[in-house]
Structure 1
């Protein structure tokens, strides 16, 4: 059902809608042109035959009147010629120059409204034309009637075509409805055909939305039956993914190698600095401060390299977890004690029941230390940091501080690598701590989120599966 809704979802700016509307408009123009031409031709055939018939009567009646006038008077001859040519659908009458009705066909004797309207007409063209009178249709013309070289007035001829015109209008209406239905069917067929033709483009879009750094090498788009242009696009897209996968692999390898190669000598340097600080008693204050600063920076650089190494291992799938049942209350108490000792901050724990979680003890401890360290950096020294433990369907750990908070528009990015909310108030670090937290929590089958308000503090929430 979701796929059907997506197919028929209308986006006025999409290529599918634009092509459908464009082709449907051209089809409508062509279909309407054919329909109009067909209607015109039908009209010409229908009206043309009646016009010719009326024209023939207009030419024949004077000759017939002259023949009858040889045996009768001219007036009688005209009447007999009219009676001979009139029928139920043909009306003839003669009006003298002074407006007197000299002769008329028998079917005009029934003085209904139509007959009265016909007899009252005066302005009728010489060439046959269609007139609408009292919801009826007539082909009419008027000619000067000359018999034996003398003018006897105006001859009016009217051919009733109401039945044919009604049938013609019904045919036109049916043709219009049929054309509309055909146009709708064509539009639907065009939409489905374009939808099918653009399916490879939709696959490219869906694949691009799902591709991540971890599966660059495996992501491939297959469009063997697609149009040539789409196949070329898919081939170019696959080549781009291959280049990105190679570049990403080289970057991961570089970061891993550099982190590994630099960590060992820096660890040695840090060890020697600590040894000198512990054993030498004749150092001046300046020398001791310099050595302590060097040792602190070396330690910070070692931790940075360890974070980079962990991220590189996670990207390559080589970051392993030892998942076991871990007593969460005891672990949190241990971490809180460690953090309170090195930060000299008050760290409170709120917990009721004993909670056992499935996690990697060492990695979970690293996660909590990172979050507590983050809370220490961005909250006032006099304010406590609270660790809350509870469980519903999963175990939940909350690290709460009452610090500066995080802007809402930046909360979605704080777990990105090297991202720092505000460089001007950042105290230390390289923006890897929260990225490490998310990587480790995800690796243990959990989830980490943040809720924060400026000036009120932040709450980082970790959910982990419970050991059954």
Structure 2
């Protein structure tokens, strides 16, 4: 066998090797033969090669340098060529980054070209760059969670995806769409019409039940059957088809073991197929996004807590000064009167002393109530709220408190009415029950606009019910759910005093008894607070 025949035999054996991609060209750049790896990479058929119509340089993208001419020039000058990087355009218009190495064969004007697909390396670089950029986006301190997720969606749509959706899971199992980002701004309007996903609780949707369990879904080829899984209505399936997703990934966001949202990544690029490496990358992105959202939420809560603390300290300072100022003035006036009486040699009248002491004691009681409220909040927070149970008549407790409030209510022109035809016994802590009813009564008188306040006490089986109804300013519907929270107020602190703790403490005490407290109200039509307490195990009366 001649040397030339031996070289040709070696080339034929090499072309049967699966990897790397190999081809043989003549001096004019015509592809004479190629192995299957190269045919797959270039998107060519063997028939096309054997027909002699494939030019090596014609595979390169038009805007890239001619790798073939460059390789021939390097061979002539140095006897070897490569590696040279260029980009091939497949028959289906997909682009493939490649690295070439060329060597001359002993046969005249024959070149052996070795081609390495750089797609995995480029994807890895792209993934690293994308995660780095995403980390910077996620690290923005103070951003709102929705703004963070929107930024990530737009970043994804500019690099690893053609379009990206972000949906956040609600408490009822439904999805709320936070972001819809498309690489083509003109098609983003169509993306915003993309179908909303069915609830994860939907028994007919095994796909989204899997997502609720935190299982990602990869569709290397996104087919019609997959569109039917994601959108049941034909018009919604048509939107997905118009968006042209060729490959798609659904990746749940999970926080503390629970699904909290869903990323949808789709590519419309020809020849681009998502694989396991892509899925690993976006799952890592999902983990970082969830951590960033949690941090943003905690940061927001911390900022809100600081604002609430500062607001509370301001209100508390004002409320504490309110009784201290008249107390100080009254005591100063009493001191001047005592000093004046001493100089004149006349005793100070008992009536003056009694009046000054009454005013001072009222202010001291206000201070005591404020301090007690603060202490109660501390006990509740620490879980140290203790109850001393005894048998009580709720009707008599209400009657006693109404008589205690009668003078101050009369000064405000507010009539107090009690409807308690029969005793209502139960086992409760007297001081805490008095505290609860006092809070409800004082609020009714404060906000009652000088109109009657009606208190009802009645028995309802194993529960006792007390209602306090005023005809005052009322409460807006959006405030009804928050007035029982700590430091929350439904009115301006400029016009109405208080720390915003009374109803919070009331709810905590009532719930400690195993009861409930609720309110119904409309602005300008007054409010009705309803307190229900379990009566507890009462002693059975003896029969004589």
| TM-score under structure 1 length normalisation | 0.45
Which structure's relative contact order is higher, taking Cα pairs within 8 Å and 6+ residues apart?
A: 1
Structure that is richer in helix per residue = 1
TM-score, normalising length: structure 2:
0.39
